[in-house]
Amino acid sequence: MSENALYWCFVVLSWLPIYAVIYIAPRMLGGLIMWVPGGVAFLLGALTVAWQWLARGPRTSQPHERLPLGAQPRLISGKQTR
């Protein structure tokens, strides 16, 4: 009985590298193929948004000096007023 148990332990351990190559490696490759392009696309989009946001520069007006959305500044004697 004990000889049979050792035999099956050897069989399982000897097939483990073959099992890894046949079963686990394609799964890892499939995950790599699936996740890397999606991650790159997300990263490019996030970098584009960040680049445009940072390229606008710092705000020069204070919040209370800004015009409401859609309002046009009036010109009175060459000066802009609200």
* Per-residue pLDDT at 55: 86
CA angle 34, 35, 38 (to 5 degrees): 95
Give the DSSP H/E element, type plus range, for residue 71: none
* Per-residue pLDDT at 63: 56
Q: Is the pLDDT of residue 78 over 60?
A: no
pLDDT tens, residue by residue, 19-59: 777 888 888 899 999 999 999 999 999 999 999 988 887 76
Confidence band, pLDDT 50/70/90 cuts, at residue 9: confident
* Helices within 1-82 (DSSP H only): 2-19, 25-55
- The closest alpha carbon to 72, from 82, 62, 59, 60, belongs to 82
Q: Is the pLDDT of residue 16 over 70?
A: yes
Tokens found for residue 59: 């705000």
Domain edges within the chain:
25-51
Q: Is the pLDDT of residue 72 over 90?
A: no
